[in-house]
Amino acid sequence: GQSLEQPSEVTAVEGAIVQINCTYQTSGFYGLSWYQQHDGGAPTFLSYNALDGLEETGRFSSFLSRSDSYGYLLLQELQMKDSASYFCAVKSGAGSYQLTFGKGTKLSVIP
Amino acid sequence: DVKVTQSSRYLVKRTGEKVFLECVQDMDHENMFWYRQDPGLGLRLIYFSYDVKMKEKGDIPEGYSVSREKKERFSLILESASTNQTSMYLCASSLSSKNTEAFFGQGTRLTVV
């Protein structure tokens, strides 16, 4: 089966940088995604890494190391609106694929 | 914009009832997913489908079934609802197996009493 581990909660100060880590165990790994979910809202896609290295999208960056089964989401210049839950998700399978999510990290940004 | 629509935002059903949760996407996506979300447990995959009439079990399929008779519609069925199926149910779709982004509906908060 699949399993993903990420911290349950993180608190950071507005304007700072925060890193949310994710380790995974899976077979048939294709890539690692990150999703953001505000309270009461639907998860929305942030990024996807299929290859090792860093992908940057504005204030958000995502990193993957396939050999270590590890990735992280880096949020820079934190804003209050970044307070949300962040989920890593593994795309895996053979032929068809499934998307398996971690339990999520609740990020609280404080003034 | 891709739109994934779930038929109900809130639903209250009695134990033992047969419950249908409907999900429709309007962008001709091949893949569709059903998750349930519970506090502290994240999103857990119930079933997914990569084509019409095709379905595969996710991590927690027990007590659920699905139907995909048309490409745009993916239904989750609780054959005999139980109180431990009280949860937020989220439907998602993605264009194809090559595509990386999944789009979610707003969720159905199901309460079984």
To test the contact with chain A by mutation, choose from B25, B35, B43 the residue with the greatest count of A C-beta atoms within 10 A, namely B43
pLDDT at A42: 95
What's chain B look like in SS3? CCCEEECCCEEEECCCCCEEEEEEECCCCCEEEEEEEECCCEEEEEEEEEECCEEEECCCCCCEEEEEEECCEEEEEECCCCHHHCEEEEEEEECCCCCCCCEECCCEEEEEC
Instruction: Give pLDDT < 50 ranges for chain B.
Output: none
Instruction: Give pLDDT < 70 ranges for chain A.
Output: 1, 94-96
Partner B, chain A 47-66, Cβ-Cβ below 8 Å: 48, 50
Q: Rounded to whole angstroms, how far apart are CA atoms B92 and B62? A: 19
**Strand pairing partners for A99?**
A91
CB contact under 8 A, A102 and B42: yes
Q: Rounded to whole angstroms, how far apart are CA atoms B64 and B15? A: 14
Question: Residue A97's closest chain B neighbor by CA?
Answer: B97
A21, A106 Cβ separation under 8 angstroms = no
Query: Minimal CA–CA distance to B5: which of B77, B107, B81?
Result: B107
Cα distances from B81 to residues A34, B72, B86, B100, in angstroms, run 32, 25, 9, 33
Is B69 buried (19+), middle (13-18) or exposed (0-12) by CB count in 10 A?
exposed
pLDDT at A27: 84
Q: Rounded to whole angstroms, how far apart are CA atoms B72 and A95? A: 21
Cβ-proximal residues to B2 (8 Å cutoff; 6+ apart), any chain: B25, B26, B27, B29, B93, B103
pLDDT at A94: 65
pLDDT at A108: 97
pLDDT at A15: 97
Query: Minimal CA–CA distance to B19: which of B92, B109, B97, B96?
Result: B109
CB contact under 8 A, A99 and B102: yes
Residues of B in contact with A98 (CB under 8 A): 33, 45, 48, 56, 58
pLDDT at B99: 67
AA identity, residue B72: E
Residue-wise pLDDT tens digits, B79-102: 999 999 999 999 999 987 766 789
